[in-house]
Structure 1
Amino acid sequence: MYLPSFSLKGKTALVTGAGRGIGQAIAIGYAEAGADVVIVSRTQSDLEKTAQLIESVGTKAYLFEADVTNKDQVKGIFETLDLEQINVDILVNNAGMNIRSKAFDVSDEEWDTIMHTNLRSAFWFSQQAGQRMKESGGGKIITISSVAGHVALRTGVVYASTKAAIIQMTKNLALEWGQYGINVNSIGPWYFKTPLTEKLLADKEYLQDILDVTPQKRVGELPDLVGPAVFLASEAADYVNGQTLFVDGGMTIQGF
């Protein structure tokens, strides 16, 4: 047999920022692929909605209302899972944010907020999950980067810096942890229809600029991202390590 399994049945995935948008879509997609899902968000009401959608598929949802920038809370999630004997086989670092300030206007507070949310939290979750995956014989870690980590965009210098750092962090963790059966990869999306991009995409001129540099002439739909996320989490990607998969309609082949 040459076709490996894309099923996640029997696996448990942890997804940060799972209350809405990309994180919610990936969490539900993993449930559809058979996984139980640990969902993390700052908003309990969002968690409950995602949990209902996961459980309607027929798998289990474990809810954690937490601030991903708080190291003690991050450790607390994994300690609770340890006590409940829940092993995390798949980690998706999705939680992120942006403040679109010009470089001259970036404040120390903005720098710290974006860095801590997008980058430091992803490392903390990876460190905690990686330690346990090493002991259990392996796992999959996937971090959501961005095309902004690869080409220069209007998204702002701090956001772009965090996403570029994620791409390099992915390579380094893959190099260190590959020997333990841990695959570390990232996904670099272009513009997708989510609550966070709704206002931007409503600007017809801005939307046209996006379409002009996207060979497929459309923005992404969430299912376009869920497929690659399931692939990287499955045994079909067992020999894929340290890579960033750009899900961008071809945007990064020409720049913006």
Structure 2
Amino acid sequence: MTDYRKLFDLTGKTAVVLGAASGIGKSSAEALAGLGARIVCADRALDAAEATAAGIRDKGGWAEAAGCDAASAADVNALAKTVMQKFPRLDIAVTTPGLNIRKTILDYTEEDLDRVLNLNVKGTVWFFQAFGRIMVAQKGGSIIACSSVRAVTIEPGLGVYGSTKAAIGLLVKGFASEVGHAGVRVNAIAPSIAETALTGPFKQRPDIYNLYAGHTVFNRWSSADEVATAVAYLASDAASYVSGSTLFVDGGWTAVDGPPTGLTQLHK
């Protein structure tokens, strides 16, 4: 009989999480560490990444920090080299950084476009290349990127951002098809709205908070931890036959056409 608990156990495995300084990246690093993995917490904000690593160590886990700009191919390649100098094998590679410049397409400047594309799209490609090469050579591993509900549902001012998140979903499918022969799995998560430091200002405005909460079937935002559990699943052997997929962790956002109204009347 299969030991299902063991399938989720990451003891003895090594992971790198890019974007570990805050939000979903931080929670992902903590989730993987909580299941037993050794974690390299990487971020452009090195001090904050070190704080994440220190928090993991305080709870008995193994973690260290590394600086890395996710939009820089040189930085990402250097991070991969550093990881392989420290460990004989890399089992899990997670990248979560993303940038949204909220403007209509008519208002986008070339600088705006370059910034969003460089991090969201090119940064994902650099990450896939650097860590994919490692995993193909060792014939195994799990790579996880971060898409969004905005890949499939949009509102004014999010067209460019949404297109990059849709691109991530297709990059995942394409890369999964290219490295599956080596036993490497490639997937993405797609959150909707999560309570993080970055979304903190929106939470202070009840009108905005309630508007976005109303798009979910639970009428609330998620915590970053709820998204991180999906990362942990995709990283684990429990997802051994899952590749090329985008796992929506959106509270039903993409299951309903707008806020679920009229429920009280329906139940009367």
- Normalising by the smaller structure, the TM-score range is over 0.9
Label 1:202 to 1:142 Cα distance change in 2 as closer, same or farther (>3 A): same
Structure 1 counterpart of 2:36, from 34, 37, 44:
34
Per the alignment, in what secondary structure is the counterpart of residue 40 of structure 1? strand
Q: Residues of 1 paired with 2:257 and 2:147: CA distance?
A: 16
Q: Aligned partner of 1:251: which letter?
A: W
Q: Is the contact made by 1:31 and 1:58 (CA closer than 8 Å) also made in structure 2?
A: no
Question: Which ranges of structure 1 fall in alignment gaps of 5 or more residues?
Answer: none
- Which moved further from structure 2: 118-127 or 138-147? 118-127
Which residue does the alignment assign to 1:135? 137
Whether 2:226 is the aligned partner of 1:219: answer no
Q: Size of the alignment, in residue pairs?
A: 256
CA RMSD of aligned residues (A): 1.4
Q: Residues of 2 paired with 1:80 and 1:173: CA distance?
A: 23
Which residue does the alignment assign to 2:2? 2
Q: Aligned partner of 2:143: which letter?
A: I
Deviation at 1:3, TM superposition (A): 4.5
Question: Which ranges of structure 2 fall in alignment gaps of 5 or more residues?
Answer: 259-268
Q: Is the contact made by 1:14 and 1:40 (CA closer than 8 Å) also made in structure 2?
A: yes
Q: Is the contact made by 1:151 and 1:255 (CA closer than 8 Å) also made in structure 2?
A: no
| TM-score when normalising by structure 1 | 0.95
Which residue does the alignment assign to 1:235? 237
Label 1:139 to 1:213 Cα distance change in 2 as closer, same or farther (>3 A): same
Q: Is the contact made by 2:214 and 2:220 (CA closer than 8 Å) also made in structure 1?
A: no
Q: Residues of 1 paired with 2:92 and 2:86: CA distance?
A: 17
Q: Residues of 2 paired with 1:202 and 1:102: CA distance?
A: 24
Give aligned-pair identity as a percent: 35
Which residue does the alignment assign to 1:206? 208
Q: If you compute each CA radius of gyration, which structure gives the higher value, 1 or 2? A: 2
Q: Aligned partner of 1:51: which letter?
A: A
Q: Residues of 2 paired with 1:37 and 1:86: CA distance?
A: 14
| TM-score when normalising by structure 2 | 0.91
Label 1:24 to 1:154 Cα distance change in 2 as closer, same or farther (>3 A): farther
Label 1:243 to 1:60 Cα distance change in 2 as closer, same or farther (>3 A): same
Deviation at 1:86, TM superposition (A): 4.5
Runs of 4+ in 1 over 4 A off after TM superposition: none
Deviation at 1:69, TM superposition (A): 1.5
Which residue does the alignment assign to 2:182? 180
